[in-house]
Structure formats: C-alpha cells, structure tokens
Copies of this chain bind each other. A is one copy, B any other.
Amino acid sequence: MSSIAELTECVRAFAEERDWQQFHTPKNLAMALAGEVGELLAELQWLTPEQSAAVMDDEQLGQRVRAEMGDVTIYLVRLADVLGVDLVQAALDKLEQSSRRYTVEAAYGSVAKINGDHPPA
C-alpha cells in the first residue's frame, strides 16, 4: 500500500518530467486545489444527505467522486511538497489543538462554536 510520501514523489516526478514547476507557485496550486474541491462539491450538490451517504453504491457516481478526491489529493500533496509542509503532522497538530478547545465534555453531540471558531472534525 502506497504512502503519502510515495505519492508525493510520484506527483513531483510527474510535474518535473513535464517541466511544470514553473506553473506550480503556491498560489496556483491553491487555486487548482479549490477548483478540484469545487468539482467534488458539484457531484454532491443536489443530493440529499442520505443520498450523499450512498454515493459509493452507484458505480458511475462513486467513480466520479473517487476521481475528484484523487485530484484534490494530488494538488494538496503537491502544494505541501512545494511548501515543505508535512500534511499528516500538520493535521495531527491541529487535532491536538482542537481537542483542547473542543473537549469531549464541552463539545459532545454539539457543533456549536467555542471561542469563535467552527468546530473541526
């Protein structure tokens, strides 16, 4: 099973082979990331919450959703590579920070904001 580090290498090689680094400024990569997230949203936008929970049961729709998530991942990983950010560690650090603000006691069953921030996952 491939790791995020291996994926990062593959995406970097893909870009370098095509001499695309010139286009990969952090601004451009962030825009591309937003574009792909938009495409993902478009697959889900008219579904009810229940239908959205069942997307992977529909072969064609499931494939499209999976493909868009693949595109989102490609750009996120590429942006992280260009900026030298360890995505997993950055995520773990945010979770740690969130766990101290959204303690189980304070946040159980509720997504009400605490200290002006939207609750994280």
Chain A 75-117, CB within 8 Å of chain B: the 1/0 string?
1111110111111111111110011001010011101000000
Q: How many residues of A contact B (CB 8 A)?
A: 87
Cβ A75 vs Cβ B121 within 8 A: yes
Chain A stretch 1-39: residues in CB contact (< 8 A) with chain B: 1-4, 6-7, 10-11, 14-15, 17-20, 22-39
Q: Copy number of this protein in the oligomer? A: 4
Cβ B93 vs Cβ A70 within 8 A: yes
Distance between A48 CB and nearest chain B CB, rounded to angstroms: 7
Distance between A114 CB and nearest chain B CB, rounded to angstroms: 11
Docked Cα-Cα span, A88 to B93, in Å, equals 21
Interface residues of A (CB under 8 A from B): 1-4, 6-7, 10-11, 14-15, 17-20, 22-42, 44-50, 52-53, 55-56, 65-67, 69-80, 82-95, 98-99, 102, 104, 107-109, 111, 118-121
